[in-house]
Structure 1
C-alpha cells in the first residue's frame, strides 16, 4: 500500500468524521433556534410591543450563541482530525523500511553535507533503529561518522565543530516544514465545503 493510498484513506476518513460533527452542530443549532421561537411566543402573549423587542433580542442572542457554539465545535473537530492525520503520517514515516527509508535517509544526508567544508570532521546522529543504515551510507563519505542516537522518526542530524554548523534533516523537521507550508491546503482537502 503506497503512502499516497494511505494518505487518501486518511483524508476520506477525516472528511467523513468532519461531516458527522458538522451535522451534529447544525442539529444543535436547530434545537436552540426552536427553543428561542417557543420562548418568543410566550413573551408576545404578555405584552405585544415590549415582547416584540425582547423576543428579537433573545432570538438574536440565542442564534448567535448557537452559531458560535457550532462554529467552535466544528473548529475543535477540525483540530482533532488534523492532529489525528498528523499522528498517522508520523506513524507511517516511522514505519518506513527498506529501499524507501535508505533513499530518504541518503537524500537528507546529502542535503545536509552541502553545509560542510571538505575535510571537516562531521558527526551524524540518527534514530537508534537506523544506526546500521546510517553507518552503511556514511561509508561513502570521508570524515563522516555515526555519533549516536537522536530521538526522531528518521533522517539525520549532522554537525561539525570546525564549521560550527548543525543541520537537522530529520523526517520530523521535513514533515514540520511541509505541514506548516501546506496546512491550509490539507485542511481544505479534508474539510471541503
Structure 2
C-alpha cells in the first residue's frame, strides 16, 4: 500500500466523517429549529389566549359599567317623573278652593282641637290666602284665635302655651304623609313594576 493510497483512504475517511458530522449537525439544527418553532407556536397560542381573556374581561367591565350607568339614568328619570307628579299634586292641593277648602280646613281644625281640651288660649296659624276663611271658621271655636301666617298650601298649625303642644295639620304635612305612605304604590302604578 502506498502512501498515496493511505493518504487517500484517510482523506476518504475524513470526508465521510465530515459528511457524517455535517448530517448530524443538520439533523440537530432541524431538531432545534423544530423545537423552537413548537415553542414559538405555544408562546403565540398562550399570548392569544391571554389577549382573549383580557378582551373578555374588558368587555365584561364595559358591559357592567354600561348597565350601571343605564340603571342610574333610569332611576334618575323615575325620580324626575315622581318629582313632577308630586309637584302637580301639590299644585292641585294648593288650588283647592270654595266649599271644599272650607270643609277640609274645618276637618283639620277639628282634629287639632281635640288635643287642646281645656286650654284657655289656643293660637292658630294658616296660609296667608286663608286669613278670611280662618277668621270666619274660628268664630265657632272658643279660645281659638288667628295668631299669624305659615308658609303652607292650606290647613292649620295649632299650638298652646298652656299645654306646650303643637299640631301641624297643614295640607303640606298631610300631603307628605300620604306621599310617603303611598310612594311605592305610586311608583308601581307609574312604572309597572
Is the structural similarity TM-score above 0.5? yes
Give, in angstroms, the shift of residue 153 of structure 1: 0.4
1:81 corresponds to: 81
**Alpha-carbon spacing, 1:72–1:119, altered in 2? closer, same or farther (3 Å):** closer
Structure 1 segments (4+ residues) deviating >3 Å:
none
Compute the displacement of 1:67 (Å): 0.3
TM-score by length of 2: 0.73
Aligned-residue offset at 1:118: 2.4
Alpha-carbon distance in 2 for matches of 1:98, 1:162: 34
Gaps of 5+ in 2: 1-46
Contact 1:117 1:163 in 2 (8 A): no
Residues 122-145 of structure 1: per-residue CA shift (max 9 Å, x gap): 111000110111111111111111
1:185, distance to aligned residue in structure 2 (A): 1.2
Shift of 1:120: 2.3
Q: Which residue of 2 aligns with 1:109?
A: 109
- TM-score scaled to structure 1, two decimals? 0.73
2:122–2:158: 8 Å Cα contact kept in structure 1?
A: yes
Query: How far apart are residue 189 of structure 1 and its match?
Result: 1.0
Q: Max radius of gyration: which structure?
A: 2
Gap runs ≥5 in structure 1: 1-46
How many residue pairs get aligned? The number is: 147
